[in-house]
Chain A
Amino acid sequence: MSSPESPRIIGSLADLPDSARGAAHLVWWGNLGFMLIEGTGFVLAVGCYLFLSSASAAWPPAGDPLPSLWWSSIFTLALIASEIPNLWVKRRSGEHDAAAVRLGVLAMTAIGLILLFLRACEIAALQPSWHQDAYASVMWMLVILHSSHIVTDWGDTLVQALWLHTHQIGDDQFADVEDNCNYWTFVVVAWLPLYAVIYWLPRFA
C-alpha cells in the first residue's frame, strides 16, 4: 500500500450543519428518483391503455358496460381533499413542530385507511372482470397499479406514525416526514390522469 502526497488543507467543514431539508437533502433526491421510475410506469401503462383502445373497433367493446362513476368519483374527491392535511403536515414538519407532526401523520394514517376502504368499494364496482377482454384487463391494471401505491404509502405512513410517537424526532426524521408528504402528493397527482382515462375517456371515445 502506498500513500500519495498530502493535499494542502484550505478549510474546515466542521461548521456546516449536519442536516438539511427539501431539495438540499439527499433523501429528497432519492425520493425523486423513485417517483420518476413509478411515474414512467404510469405513463407507459396509460400508453398501453391508449394502444389497446386504438386497436379496438369500440371502446369499451360491445357488451361491456361503461365504468361506474359513483365510487371512483367519491374516491377521487376524497383523495384530492387528503392533500389539505398532507400539505399541512409537510409545512409543520418544515417548522419542526413535533406535536403537530405526530398528530398530522397519525391523521394521515387514518385518512389512508378511509381511502383504502373507498378504493375497495371502487374495485368491487369495477365491471367487467379482468379476464373478460383486453379492455377490462388494462382497466384493472391501471387501478391495481395505483392501488399498490396507496397501500405502500399507507404502510410507510403507519410505520412513521408509530416511530414518531415513540421516539424523539430529529432533523432527519422531519425531513423523512416531508419526503413522505411529497410522495403522497405524487400518488394523488398520478391518479388524476388515470381517473380521466379510465372513467371519462370511454364516455367520449
Chain B
Amino acid sequence: MTATAAGPGDSRAAQLRQTWRDPPGLWGFLTTVDHKRIAARYIVTTLFLLFLAGMLAMDMRLQLSAPGLHRMDPQLYNESFSLHGSTMLFLVSVPVMEAMALWLVPLMLGQRNMAFPRLAAFSYWLYLGGVLMLWLPHAVNITPDLGWFEYPPLSGPAYSPGHRADIWAQMITFTEVAALAASVNVAMTILKLRPPGMTLAKMPLFLWAMLVASLMTIFALPAVMLATSMLIADRLVSTHFFSPSGGGDALLFQHLFWFFGHPEVYIIFVPAVGFVSAIVETFARRPIFGYAAMVLSVLAIGILAFGLWVHHMFAVGLPRLGNDFYTAASMTIALPAGIQIFCWIATIWGGRPRLATPMLWVIGFIITFVIGGLSGVMTASAPLDLQLTDTYFIVAHFHYVLVGGAIFPLLGAFCYWYPKATGRLMSEKLGTLAFALIVGGFNLGFFPMHILGLWGMPRRVYTYPAGMGWGTLNLVATIGSAVAVVGGLVFVANALWSFWYGRRVGADPWGGPTLEWAARSPPPPHNFDLVLCVDSLTPLWKKELTAFDGLALDRREMLVTTVMEAEPIYRQNSVGPSIWPLMSALAVTLLFVGSIFTPWALVWGAVPVAIALTFWFWPTRARASTGPLGRRR
C-alpha cells in the first residue's frame, strides 16, 4: 500500500524497496530469499516438468493408439510410465501447490515475507536436486522402470540390480525433505504472521486450505521417506525389512507407501479447494456461502484422508473386516467433498457470476471432479475394486481426480493471480480457447478409459492384440490427449504473449476481496508499505482499509501475532539474502547421492552439511567482551 500522491508514503515505499531488494545479477539470483522469486522459479520448474511428463504421456498414447504397435518396446514403455507418474506426483503436483503457497500466503496475509525466508530458498534448491536426481540419470539411460510406487520385492536387491530403484528412492528423499521444509514454513507463517484482526474465524479459505495441506504433509511424508530409506537399506546394507526370506514383509512397504500416498491425493486437492473458493468468491461477487461448513469440510478431509490408505490395497488379500472398514471410510470422505461442491454452487447461484477464464476453469473443475468423485465412490467398494483395480478404469479415475480436481483449479488460479504477479492480464480469447481445448481434449482422452477398463484392458501394457476390440476407443483417447496437449501449448503461449503484450492493469483488476489485491501489481520486494488490518472475511470490499505503521524502514522487520486472535506481539527481524541455503542444499545433495553407493556417505557427507548449516545459522553480533573467549579492549 502506498499513498497515491507524492509525500511521506512515497518516501516510505522507496526506503522499504531499498531495504528489501535483492543484490543485482547472478549473486542476487543465487542468494534471494524473496518468497515471490523463489515461488516463481518453483512454478516455472514444475510447469517445465509438466510439459516433459505430458510429452511422455503423448508418446505412450501414440504407442497405444492402435493394436499391435511396436514403436516402443516393453522396457521403454515401463520407463516411460514410471517417469511420467513419478514426475507428475513428486515433481509437479505437490511442489506446484507448495510453490503457489510460497507466492500467495505472505501476500494474502499482508506480510513482507515467509516466516523462515532461507528455509524457502533451501526448499527450492533441494527440490531442484530431486528433479536432477531423476532426470539426469534418465539422460544417460538409467531410468526407474517399476512404476511410481516401486513395490518390493520387485524393487528389492534380488530383482532390481543396478541403481534404477535407488535413483527413484533417493529422488523421493530430496523432494520430500523439500516439501516438508516448505510445509513447516507455510504452516507457521499462517499461524504466526497473520495481520491484526485476522482471527482464525476471519481467515480466507485459501489460507485454511494451505494450513490443512501443510499439516497433512507434515504427518504424511515421513511415511514415504521411511519406506524408501528402508528400501535403500535393504538394497545397500542387506537389511530384511521387505524380504520374506529374512522375516520381513513386502506388505509393510505398501502400508507405509499408501499411508503417505492417499493423504498425498488430498495434499494436492485441498490447495485446489482454496483456489476454487477464492475464484468463486471474486467472480460470484459475494462472500462464499457456508464459510464455517467449508472450513469444517477441509478439516474433515484432512483427518479422514489418513484413514483410507488400505483402499489402495484391497487386492492384496487383507482381512474382510479391514476391507469393510476402509470401504466405509472411503465413502465417508465423499460427504465433506460434497458439502464443498454444494457451497460453491450456492455461492455462484446467490451471486452475480462473471464468466472470465478463471471462472471457466472452476466450472470445468466442478464437472470433471464430480465425475472423478463418482468413479471414486465406485472403486471404494472392495468387491468392485477387485474387478477394476489395475485396469484402465483406475487410470481414468485418478486422472479425473488429479487433473480435474487439482490441475484445472491450478490453471484457473494461474489466470486469476497472473495480473497480480505481472501487472498484465492474460488474453481472454486465448484463455477461452485453451480452456476449451484442454477440458474438451481431456474428457475425450480419458472418458473412454472408463469403458476400456470395464472391458478389461489392463494398465501398464505396452501393446494389445487387435482381437480385443480396444483399438477404436484407444485411438479416440489418443486424439483427445493430443487435443489437450495443443490446448496446453495455447495456454503457455498466452502466458508468454501476455507477459509482454497483455493489457496493463491496476492492483485489483478482478475486484478481489482479499489482501493480496491491495498490493501493487506486480508487488514490490517488500509487498506492502504498511501493516494492514482486517475485520472481515472480505476486507477489500469494505469502504476503507486501515493499517498500522511503525515497522522499521531501514532493516527487514515483520509483525508476529498470536495464533488464535492475531493480536500483535512483537517485531521480528527477517533475515536477508544468503548463499548458505544453496550451499546447504549442495552439501545435502552430496550426502544423498553418495548414500546410494555407500552407507559411509552418511558419515563423511554429514561434514559439509554441518559446515554449511553452521554458516547459515551463525548470528551476526558483536564479539563478547567477557568470559574466557571474550575479546578485551
A residues touching B (Cβ–Cβ < 8 Å)?
Answer: 1-20, 24-26, 29-30, 33-34, 36-38, 40-41, 44-45, 48, 51-52, 55-56, 61, 98-99, 102, 130-138, 140-141, 151, 155, 159, 163, 165-170, 172-173, 176
- Shortest Cβ distance from residue B318 to the other chain A in the assembled complex, whole angstroms: 13
| Cβ–Cβ contact B247 & A61, under 8 A | yes
If A16-B571, A134-B241, A167-B621 touch, whether A3 touches B4 (CB-CB below 8 Å) is yes
Please, which residues of chain A bring their CB within 8 A of the CB of B239? 130-131, 134, 137, 140-141
- Shortest Cβ distance from residue B619 to the other chain A in the assembled complex, whole angstroms: 6
Q: Pick from A36, A48, A56, A163: contact of B247, CB below 8 A.
A: A56
Please, which residues of chain B bring their CB within 8 A of the CB of A102? 627
Kindly supply a per-residue 1/0 record for chain B positions 601-612, scoring 1 wherever the CB is within 8 Å of any chain A CB and 0 otherwise: 000001000100
Please, which residues of chain B bring their CB within 8 A of the CB of A37? 180, 184, 218, 221-222
Please, which residues of chain B bring their CB within 8 A of the CB of A36? 218-219
Assembled-state Cα–Cα distance A33/B248 (Å): 32
Q: Pick from A16, A98, A166: contact of B569, CB below 8 A.
A: A16
Please, which residues of chain B bring their CB within 8 A of the CB of A2? 423, 505-507, 520-521
A-B residue pairs in contact (CB < 8 Å), sample of 25: A3-B520, A4-B518, A6-B9, A7-B1, A7-B530, A7-B533, A7-B547, A9-B530, A10-B547, A11-B548, A17-B571, A18-B573, A20-B569, A26-B192, A33-B184, A52-B248, A130-B237, A130-B239, A137-B233, A138-B241, A159-B614, A163-B618, A168-B623, A168-B625, A176-B619
Please, which residues of chain B bring their CB within 8 A of the CB of A13? 531, 548-551, 559, 568, 571
| Cβ–Cβ contact A173 & B1, under 8 A | no
Please, which residues of chain A bring their CB within 8 A of the CB of B240? 131-134, 136-137
Please, which residues of chain B bring their CB within 8 A of the CB of A166? 623-624, 629-631
B residues touching A (Cβ–Cβ < 8 Å)?
Answer: 1-4, 9, 115-116, 119, 180, 183-185, 187-188, 191-193, 218-219, 221-223, 225-226, 230, 233, 237-241, 243, 246-249, 252, 255-256, 259, 423, 505-508, 517-522, 530-533, 544-551, 557, 559-560, 562, 568-573, 606, 610, 614, 617-619, 621-631
- Shortest Cβ distance from residue B120 to the other chain A in the assembled complex, whole angstroms: 12
- Shortest Cβ distance from residue B256 to the other chain A in the assembled complex, whole angstroms: 7
Q: Pick from A6, A137, A173: contact of B241, CB below 8 A.
A: A137
| Cβ–Cβ contact A1 & B522, under 8 A | yes
- Shortest Cβ distance from residue A162 to the other chain B in the assembled complex, whole angstroms: 8
- Looking at A55, A140, A151, which has the most chain B CB atoms within 10 Å of its CB? A55
Assembled-state Cα–Cα distance A203/B519 (Å): 64
Please, which residues of chain A bring their CB within 8 A of the CB of B221? 37
Assembled-state Cα–Cα distance A170/B1 (Å): 33
CB-based nearest A residue for B116: A30
If A48-B252, A52-B248 touch, whether A19 touches B222 (CB-CB below 8 Å) is no
| Cβ–Cβ contact A6 & B1, under 8 A | yes
Please, which residues of chain A bring their CB within 8 A of the CB of B423? 1-2
Please, which residues of chain A bring their CB within 8 A of the CB of B243? 134
Please, which residues of chain A bring their CB within 8 A of the CB of B2? 3-4, 6
Please, which residues of chain B bring their CB within 8 A of the CB of A14? 549-551
Q: Pick from B115, B192, B546: contact of A8, CB below 8 A.
A: B546
If A16-B570, A48-B230, A168-B625 touch, whether A10 touches B518 (CB-CB below 8 Å) is no
Closest 10 CB pairs of A and B: A33-B184, A12-B550, A14-B550, A13-B550, A2-B506, A137-B239, A7-B545, A134-B247, A7-B547, A134-B248
Please, which residues of chain A bring their CB within 8 A of the CB of B546? 7-10
| Cβ–Cβ contact B508 & A4, under 8 A | yes
Please, which residues of chain A bring their CB within 8 A of the CB of B219? 36, 40
Assembled-state Cα–Cα distance A132/B119 (Å): 40
Assembled-state Cα–Cα distance A158/B31 (Å): 27
Assembled-state Cα–Cα distance A61/B248 (Å): 12
- Shortest Cβ distance from residue A37 to the other chain B in the assembled complex, whole angstroms: 5
- Shortest Cβ distance from residue B313 to the other chain A in the assembled complex, whole angstroms: 13
Please, which residues of chain A bring their CB within 8 A of the CB of B559? 13, 16
| Cβ–Cβ contact A10 & B237, under 8 A | no
Please, which residues of chain A bring their CB within 8 A of the CB of B247? 52, 55-56, 61, 133-135
If A2-B506, A137-B241, A159-B614 touch, whether A16 touches B623 (CB-CB below 8 Å) is no
| Cβ–Cβ contact B259 & A30, under 8 A | no
Q: Pick from B226, B520, B550: contact of A45, CB below 8 A.
A: B226
Please, which residues of chain B bring their CB within 8 A of the CB of A51? 249, 252, 255
| Cβ–Cβ contact B549 & A48, under 8 A | no
Please, which residues of chain B bring their CB within 8 A of the CB of A141? 230, 233, 239, 241
Please, which residues of chain B bring their CB within 8 A of the CB of A165? 624, 627-630
Assembled-state Cα–Cα distance A102/B547 (Å): 42
- Looking at B222, B530, B617, B630, which has the most chain A CB atoms within 10 Å of its CB? B222
| Cβ–Cβ contact B610 & A155, under 8 A | yes
Assembled-state Cα–Cα distance A33/B190 (Å): 13
Assembled-state Cα–Cα distance A12/B548 (Å): 5
- Shortest Cβ distance from residue A66 to the other chain B in the assembled complex, whole angstroms: 16
Please, which residues of chain A bring their CB within 8 A of the CB of B617? 159
Assembled-state Cα–Cα distance A17/B180 (Å): 31
CB-based nearest A residue for B240: A134
Please, which residues of chain B bring their CB within 8 A of the CB of A169? 621, 624
Given contacts A2-B520, A9-B547, A40-B218, 11 further A-B contacts (CB under 8 A): A30-B116, A30-B188, A33-B188, A36-B219, A44-B226, A51-B255, A52-B249, A98-B626, A131-B238, A165-B627, A173-B621
CB-based nearest B residue for A98: B626
If A29-B188, A37-B222, A166-B624 touch, whether A1 touches B572 (CB-CB below 8 Å) is no
Please, which residues of chain A bring their CB within 8 A of the CB of B116? 30
Assembled-state Cα–Cα distance A61/B619 (Å): 51
Please, which residues of chain B bring their CB within 8 A of the CB of A29? 115, 188, 191-192
Please, which residues of chain A bring their CB within 8 A of the CB of B119? 30
